[in-house]
Structure 1
Amino acid sequence: MSMQEQFDAFAQVANNPAAQLKKYKAEGRKAIGVMPYYAPEELVFAADMVPMGMWGTNDKNIKEAKEYCASFYCSLAQLDLEMLLDGTLDDLDGVIMTVLCDTLRPMSQNIRVAMDKLGKMPTIFLAHPQNRRPEYGIQYTISQYNNVKEQLEEIAGKKITDEALKEAIKVYNRSREERRRFVKLAGEHPEAVSAVNRSAVLKASYFMLKDEYTDKLTALNDELEKLPASDWNGVRIVTSGIICDNPDLLQILDDNKIAIAMDDVAHESRSFRTDVPEDDDPMRALAQQFADQDYDVLLYDEASAKNRRAEYVCDLVRDSKAQGVVVFMENFCDPEEMEYPSLRQEFDKQNIRHIRLGIDHQMRDFGQAKTALQAFADVLADEMA
C-alpha cells in the first residue's frame, strides 16, 4: 500500500465515524461514546467494548439541541448533544460525560435528561478533581474511575479484571508512543504529510480500536522514517487550541505552504503526550496519569502565576524550529478566551509571531481565515528571507 493510500484509509475512517461505528456493531461489539477529554478509555477497551470519541462534527447544523442548550455553549458541546438527539449516535450503548469546563458541567446534565426522556442509552458522569496531584486528589480520581468501571461492567455484562486493564494500558501506551512518533515525523516531513492528512491520521484514532489503529499507524511511521531529509521551503508553525479538524480550513494551510511542525491541540497531542504507569495497581495507574497531565488550559496549575503553559508553547516553537503560532480559538470557550492574554504576553516577550483565529464547527465560509493565514505566511516568509 502506497503512503497516499495509507493516508486515504485513515481519512476514510476520520470522515465517516458513523460507518465505522456500524462496522463494529455488525461485528457484535458494544460501543461507548467518550466526550472530551481525559476520560480513561482503557476501561472501555478492557471491557471488550469500543470507545468512540465525541468531538462534535463539521457537517451538521444545531437544531434539536437548542431545546436544552444555552446559546453561548460552544458548538462542540452542542453538536455532541445534537448527534445524540437526532439518531446519529443511536448505535452507542452508553456515553461517558466529562465535566472539566463550565460548559460541560451543565451539558452533562442536559444529556442525561435528554437521554432519560427519550429512553436512549445510559449516561456515565465523570468528574475529575482539579487538585489532581495530592494523594487526596488521586484517591478521588480512583473513586470516580471506579464508578465509571462499575457502570461499564453493567453495560458490558462482564467484569473488568485487573489483567484485562493492565493489557489495555499497554495497548494504549503503545498507541500514544506511535502517535507521538507520527507527530514528530510529520513535522520533519511536511513535504510528505499535509496538514489535512496529518489531521485525518490523528482524528481516526478516536473511531478505531487502539490496537487496530496502532498497527496501521506503525506501518505508516515506518514508511515516513525511510524518507530522505526534507526539502521543505515553506513556513512552519505550531498550532494551539481545543480542536482544529476541519479539512477546508486545514487546506488553507496546505495551499499556502504552511506546515504544522508541532501542535498543542487538545484533540491532538495533548490527548497522548502522557503515558499511564504500567504498575501492579491499574486503577491507581490511570489516576496517576491524570495527575501527571500538565500545560492545559482546563487543568488547575499550582504555579499559574509563572505563566508555565505559555512558556511551554513557546518551547514547542523553538524545539520544532517553527516560525510562529496559530491559535485556533473555539468560539464561546471561556477558558481559552481568558487564557489568551497570558499567551499573547509571552509570545510578545519572546518575540514569537502569532495570529488568533476564532473557529466554530458551524463555520462554512473561511474567507477571513484564508486572508489572515495568507498574510501571516507572507510575514513569516519575509522574515526567513
Structure 2
Amino acid sequence: MEAVKEILDEMKDAVSNPRQAVKDYKEKTGKGVIGCFPVYCPEEIVHAAGMLPIGIWGGQTQVSQAHTVFPPFCCSIMQSIMEFALKGVYSDLDAVIIPAPCDTLKSIGQDWLYAIPDIKAILTVYPQMRKIAAGVEYLKSEFQDIKSAVEAIGGEPISDEALNKSIEVYNAHRRVMREFCSVARRYPATVTPAVRHLVIKSGYFMEKGQHTLLVSELINELHKLPAEEFKGQKVILTGIMAEPDGLLELFSENGITVVGDDLAHESRQFRTDVPAGSDPLLRLAQQWSVIEGCSLVYDPEKKRGDMLIDMVKESDADGVVLCMMKFCDPEEFDYPILTVELEKVRIPLLYLEIDQQMQSLEQARTRIQGFAEMLASYKDLKRLA
C-alpha cells in the first residue's frame, strides 16, 4: 500500500500545482508549454515538437473579471478558464489551442484574441460532417495549420516520423488508462471515486509517456493487493466532468463507488485510439470520424444511450449519474433522450448539476444520499422478485 500511496502523492502534486509543472518542464527541457482546451485537442502535435501539452479545463474559482467578457449563462468551465486567464494564471504558457466543438468554445476563441492578446491562440474548427471524406480532409488541413503554428513557436519543423511516434505514445497511454479503469473496479476501497478521478486528471499535467509509466506502476501495485469487497452501490458517471473533489467524496460518504464513466473530462479522452496509417495528420483527422457517444460530436444515430446501457451491464452497475454541466447546451439536448432510453431498461438515473463556481454541496449531498437509498431499495426488490 505504501507504493500505491507514493504514486498517488506524485499525481496529487501534479494536479495541485500545474503551474509548477509548467515551470519545471521549461527549466528541464528548454522547450515550450502549450495549453489545450476541451474537448478533443490534438496534443500529439505539441508532444511531437518536444513541448508539453497541458490540459485547460477551468477549476474552482470565484468568477468576477470573466463577466466582463462572457454573459453569465456561458458554461462554467469557460467562465473559469477566462477568469484564470485574466488573472494571469496561464501567463507561463507559450500558446493555447482552442478547438470549437460547441458554441461557447467558438466564442471563447474570439474572446481570447481580444482579452488575452499576450498568449497566442491557435484556433481550429472540427467539422460535424466528420464521416465523409471531405470532412476528414478538411480537419487534416486544420491540423496542418496547428502544426505550422506550433513549429513557428518551437522554431523547428515537426517530422512525420516524430508525429507518428507521438501518436503511438498517446495510443499506449489510452490503452493503459482503459486498463486502469477496468482494474480499479476490483479495489473500491483503495480507488475511491476521488482517487479514480485523480489518476485520470493527473494525465493533463504530465508528459504522456511519464504518466503512462506511473499508471502502469499503479496497476502493478494494485494487482498485488487482494480484491476488495464492496457492499454499497455502483454507478456509471456520464457528462462533461465530475468536480469538485468534494462532490466525489459525497459518493464515498454514501456508499457509492464509480465503476466506469462516460465523461468528456475522463474516459471519452482515451476510449478511442488514433487509427493506424503512415500519414500522421490524416490519422489524427480520422480519429475524429470514429469517436462515438459524445454530446459534442455529431451523431444522428444517438448511440450514447446504448453505449451507457452496455457500460452498465458490463460493469454490473446499479445506476447512472448524469453530471450536467451548468449551461452546457449539447448535454442538455442529450438528457431527454438518455432519460427515455434508460427508463426503458429500468436503469436508475440521477441528474446532478455541476458548476465549477458552486459554493455549497448541500443540495448535491441530499440528492446523492437519496439516490443511494433508492438504489439499495431497488436492489432489494430485485432480489425478492
- With the shorter chain as reference, the TM-score category is over 0.9
Structure 1 contact 239–262 (Cα < 8 Å) conserved = yes
After TM superposition, the structure 1 stretch with the greater mean CA deviation from structure 2, 12-21 or 236-245, is: 12-21
Q: Which residue of 2 aligns with 1:82?
A: 83
Structure 1 contact 166–278 (Cα < 8 Å) conserved = no
SS of residue paired to 1:189: coil
Please give the alpha-carbon distance, in whole angstroms, between the structure 2 residues aligned to 1:225 and 1:217. Answer: 12
Q: Which residue of 2 aligns with 1:178?
A: 176
SS of residue paired to 2:143: helix
Do structure 1's residue 381 and structure 2's residue 376 form an aligned pair?
yes
Q: Which residue of 2 aligns with 1:355?
A: 350
Q: Which residue of 2 aligns with 1:29?
A: 31
Deviations 1:163-208 (A, max 9, x none): 1101101110111111111111112321220111111110000011
SS of residue paired to 2:338: helix
Shift of 1:355: 0.8
Q: Which residue of 2 aligns with 1:237?
A: 235
Please give the alpha-carbon distance, in whole angstroms, between the structure 1 residues aligned to 2:330 and 2:269. Answer: 18
Deviations 1:50-71 (A, max 9, x none): 001000011x211222111111
Task: In structure 2, give the amino acid aligned to 1:210.
Answer: K
Structure 1 contact 170–278 (Cα < 8 Å) conserved = no
After TM superposition, the structure 1 stretch with the greater mean CA deviation from structure 2, 271-280 or 350-359, is: 271-280
Shift of 1:374: 0.9
Structure 1 contact 77–103 (Cα < 8 Å) conserved = yes
Shift of 1:13: 1.2
Task: In structure 1, give the amino acid aligned to 2:69.
Answer: Y
Q: Which residue of 1 aligns with 2:279?
A: 281
Please give the alpha-carbon distance, in whole angstroms, between the structure 2 residues aligned to 1:383 and 1:68. Answer: 47
SS of residue paired to 1:237: strand
Please give the alpha-carbon distance, in whole angstroms, between the structure 2 residues aligned to 1:184 and 1:86. Answer: 39
Shift of 1:381: 1.6
Q: Which residue of 1 aligns with 2:309?
A: 314
Q: Which residue of 2 aligns with 1:107?
A: 108
Please give the alpha-carbon distance, in whole angstroms, between the structure 2 residues aligned to 1:362 and 1:70. Answer: 15
Please give the alpha-carbon distance, in whole angstroms, between the structure 2 residues aligned to 1:382 and 1:19. Answer: 47
Per the normalisation by structure 2, the TM-score is 0.96
Deviations 1:316-366 (A, max 9, x none): 111110000111100111111121111100111110011101110001210
Alignment of 1:185-264 (within 5 A): 185-264=183-262
Task: In structure 2, give the amino acid aligned to 1:215.
Answer: L
**Count of aligned residue pairs for this structure pair:** 378
Structure 2 contact 184–259 (Cα < 8 Å) conserved = yes
Do structure 1's residue 14 and structure 2's residue 39 form an aligned pair?
no
Please give the alpha-carbon distance, in whole angstroms, between the structure 2 residues aligned to 1:354 and 1:303. Answer: 21
SS of residue paired to 1:103: helix
Task: In structure 1, give the amino acid aligned to 2:86.
Answer: L
Structure 2 contact 293–307 (Cα < 8 Å) conserved = yes
Please give the alpha-carbon distance, in whole angstroms, between the structure 2 residues aligned to 1:108 and 1:35. Answer: 10
Shift of 1:84: 1.6
Task: In structure 2, give the amino acid aligned to 1:315.
Answer: D
Please give the alpha-carbon distance, in whole angstroms, between the structure 2 residues aligned to 1:176 and 1:335. Answer: 25
Shift of 1:301: 1.1
SS of residue paired to 2:185: helix
Please give the alpha-carbon distance, in whole angstroms, between the structure 1 residues aligned to 2:267 and 2:218. Answer: 18
Please give the alpha-carbon distance, in whole angstroms, between the structure 2 residues aligned to 1:286 and 1:204. Answer: 23
| Candidates 137, 140, 156, aligned match of 1:142 | 140
Shift of 1:292: 0.9
Q: Which residue of 1 aligns with 2:149?
A: 151
| Candidates 322, 340, 347, aligned match of 1:345 | 340
Task: In structure 1, give the amino acid aligned to 2:368.
Answer: L
Please give the alpha-carbon distance, in whole angstroms, between the structure 1 residues aligned to 2:94 and 2:3. Answer: 36
SS of residue paired to 2:378: helix
Per the normalisation by structure 1, the TM-score is 0.96
Shift of 1:79: 1.3
Task: In structure 2, give the amino acid aligned to 1:195.
Answer: P
Shift of 1:288: 0.9
Shift of 1:72: 0.8
Shift of 1:226: 2.8
Please give the alpha-carbon distance, in whole angstroms, between the structure 1 residues aligned to 2:135 and 2:107. Answer: 22
Unpaired runs of 5+ residues, structure 1, are none
Deviations 1:29-66 (A, max 9, x none): 310000001111000000110001000011x2112221
SS of residue paired to 1:188: coil
The alignment's C-alpha RMSD in Å is 1.2
| Candidates 326, 331, 334, aligned match of 1:331 | 326
Shift of 1:85: 1.5
Structure 2 contact 171–274 (Cα < 8 Å) conserved = yes
Shift of 1:278: 3.2
Do structure 1's residue 55 and structure 2's residue 61 form an aligned pair?
no
Q: Which residue of 1 aligns with 2:40?
A: 38
Please give the alpha-carbon distance, in whole angstroms, between the structure 1 residues aligned to 2:340 and 2:300. Answer: 20
| Candidates 252, 268, 280, aligned match of 1:270 | 268
Shift of 1:15: 2.2
Q: Which residue of 1 aligns with 2:383?
A: none
Alignment of 1:111-130 (within 5 A): 111-116=112-117, 120-130=118-128
